């Protein structure tokens, strides 16, 4: 995961343009907000990225903790929400220091594919410790083993068509093939799990899990799982 963290902390971008970046994070925030159990909830976004529209999630909760391992990204997120008393920004060590059974909802979206199996197990056990007995863990953007890269490309083009950045999406896909992102993805690969495999891994870490009808975000070829402490 360290190589991916370093890449995301670099000036590179996987977004076609600012419109893409904006609607990408807005869609994710809106989808996450639907899982917030109520206005008194404590929510943890584990690996939040730029979290441009985290205010949407914070507006549905009492407290939102944004955890981001990339220091440059984390600094930008902290500056962005410095005036919002509902939002706390921390690194993964800060997550580890949170009290046991103190969080109502944990979301980890579009992170699992960049983790080794061992890193994932550490994260899952940490999340299990933090969740209240009645808490909920939402794991999003799980990629099945047989999903080709072309599926992601088509999902992006459809998203671009719907959101007004179709041409920029096409140019971005061509650029991506020559980028450091693609070289890193080709050399390291992405971690992939089918539904039985990820359900079994979650069970080994103390969760019962079920696949949701819709994935968080625009790419519906990927999977989201709703997990509760077992």
Over residues 30-53, the pLDDT tens digits come to: 999 999 999 999 999 999 999 999
Domain residue spans of the chain: 2-229
What fold, for 2-229? Answer: Rossmann fold (3.40.50)
Q: What is the DSSP string of the chain?
A: -HHHHHHHTSS----SSHHHHHHHHHHHHHHHHTT---TT-EEEEET-TT-TTHHHHHTTSSEEEEE-S-HHHHHHHHHHTTT-TTEEEE-HHHHHTSPTT-EEEEEEES-GGGS-HHHHHHHHHHHHHHEEEEEEEEEEEEPPTT--HHHHHHHHHHHHHHHT-HHHHHHHHHHHTTSHHHHHHHHH------HHHHHHHHHHTTEEEEE-SS-SSS-TTSEEEEEEE-
pLDDT at residue 190, as a whole number: 93
Mean predicted confidence (pLDDT) in 6-22 = 90
Mean predicted confidence (pLDDT) in 141-155 = 95
Mean predicted confidence (pLDDT) in 192-217 = 98
Q: Quick check: 103 pLDDT over 80?
A: yes
Please state the pTM of the whole predicted model.
0.95
pLDDT at residue 184, as a whole number: 86
pLDDT at residue 173, as a whole number: 93
Q: Quick check: 139 pLDDT over 90?
A: yes
Mean pLDDT (the chain, rounded): 95
pLDDT at residue 81, as a whole number: 98
For the ranges 49-63, 107-121, 177-191, which has the lowest average pLDDT?
Answer: 177-191
pLDDT at residue 74, as a whole number: 98
For the ranges 21-25, 66-70, 149-153, 221-225, which has the lowest average pLDDT?
Answer: 149-153
Mean predicted confidence (pLDDT) in 92-106 = 97
């Amino acid at each position: 995961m360290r190589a991916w963290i370093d890449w995301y902390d670099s000036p590179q971008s996987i977004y076609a343009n600012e419109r893409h970046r904006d609607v990408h994070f807005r869609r994710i925030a809106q989808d996450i907000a639907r899982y917030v159990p109520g206005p008194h909830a404590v929510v943890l976004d584990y690996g939040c990225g730029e979290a441009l529209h985290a205010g949407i999630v914070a507006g549905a909760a009492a407290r939102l903790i944004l955890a981001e391992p990339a220091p440059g990204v984390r600094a930008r997120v902290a500056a962005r929400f410095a005036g919002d008393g509902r939002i706390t920004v921390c690194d993964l060590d800060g997550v580890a220091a949170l009290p046991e059974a103190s969080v109502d909802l944990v979301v980890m979206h579009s992170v699992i594919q960049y983790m080794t199996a061992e890193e994932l197990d550490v994260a899952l056990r940490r999340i299990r410790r933090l969740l209240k007995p009645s808490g909920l863990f939402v794991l999003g953007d799980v990629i099945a083993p047989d999903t080709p890269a072309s599926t992601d490309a088509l999902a992006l083009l459809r998203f671009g068509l719907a959101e007004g950045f179709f041409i920029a999406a096409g140019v971005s896909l061509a650029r991506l093939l020559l980028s450091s992102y693609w070289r890193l993805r080709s050399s390291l690969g992405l971690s992939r799990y089918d539904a039985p495999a990820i359900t079994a891994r979650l069970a080994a870490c103390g969760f019962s899990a079920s696949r949701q009808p819709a994935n968080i975000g625009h790419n519906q070829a990927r999977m989201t799982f709703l997990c509760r402490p077992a």
